[in-house]
Amino acid sequence: MNASARRVEAEILDELPPEDPAARASRRDLRLLNRFLGNWEWTLGLLRRRLRPHQRIVELGAGEGAWGRYLWGRRDHLPPFAYTGVDRSPRPAGWPGAWDWEQRDLREGWGRDGPPDLLLVHLLLHHFEDGELAALGELFRPVSLWVFCEPRRVRWTRTKDFLLRLGGAHPVTRHDARVSVAAGFRGEELPELLAAGDPGRRMRVEESPRGAYRLEAWREESAS
């Protein structure tokens, strides 16, 4: 894979029914991958610094709810806050009863409560072409703080595929990992696509050696 240009392709997991054994196995692999990448721990540390009491968080593309459940289990380390998961899938089993869930497409807007204070997105934006990301940037603009974790686009090697196979990753996971990395981001690509023409917003990009691409974006008045 040439890492010089983004290439967006369909991922198998997105087309599988939720109860398909391959889908279950791939979601299990993704939970393990998240532990390896350290995205959830990074997010928790950022929320400890940034989150203010009684703010509202929306997670787009919440899927099976794993990221939200992780934060629910650590909410005692954070100020009180409201949380809503948004996904085209129905409310997952085990989703906290005190938190909202909205089954809809993220491009439909913000719903009855309007834009949140903080937006979380995990392994979702790489599914979109550049033009679609520009439109999403317009949708996201009213939100004060963005916290996004996506794949870092690097050259895919046989060694990476071998390590996934050695670790017992399902074939769906191995396929989708290659596709996700090819559609990932490098440098300032994602902030440029999402926030062009928004001079009041500052960005911080972090690219981890393990393959995570993280974006923290905030309005100047909310900077700490």
pLDDT of amino acid 223: 47
Least confident of 117-121, 146-150, 192-196: 192-196
In a domain, 16, yes or no: no
Contact partners, residue 171, CB within 8 Å, separation at least 6: 22
* Residue ranges making up the domain that contains 141: 22-222
Average pLDDT over residues 180-188: 93
In a domain, 140, yes or no: yes
Contact partners, residue 183, CB within 8 Å, separation at least 6: 6, 7, 8, 9, 126, 127, 151, 153
Paired strand residues for 87: 103
Instruction: Give the integer Cα–Cα distance in Å for 4 and 154.
Output: 8
In a domain, 65, yes or no: yes
Question: What percent of the chain is predicted at pLDDT more than 70?
Answer: 92
Higher pLDDT, 189 or 166: 189
Most confident by average pLDDT, 85-99, 102-116, 154-168: 85-99
pLDDT of amino acid 163: 67
pLDDT of amino acid 160: 67
Most confident by average pLDDT, 75-89, 153-167, 195-209: 75-89
pLDDT of amino acid 1: 45
- Joined tokens for residue 30: 């993704």
In a domain, 147, yes or no: yes
Confidence of residue 155 (pLDDT cuts 50, 70, 90): confident
54-85 tens-digit pLDDT? 999 999 999 889 999 999 999 999 999 999 99
CB–CB of 195/201 below 8 Å?
yes
pLDDT of amino acid 18: 79
CB–CB of 23/16 below 8 Å?
yes
Q: How many domains does the chain have?
A: 1
pLDDT exceeds cutoff 50 at 2: no
CB–CB of 69/94 below 8 Å?
yes
Confidence of residue 162 (pLDDT cuts 50, 70, 90): low
**Beta strands of 11-116 (E only): which ranges?**
55-60, 81-87, 100-103
Mean pLDDT of the chain, nearest integer = 88
pLDDT of amino acid 177: 87
CB–CB of 213/181 below 8 Å?
no
In a domain, 12, yes or no: no
CATH of the domain at 108: 3.40.50.150
- Joined tokens for residue 78: 């954070």
In a domain, 6, yes or no: no
In a domain, 175, yes or no: yes
In a domain, 174, yes or no: yes
Confidence of residue 157 (pLDDT cuts 50, 70, 90): low
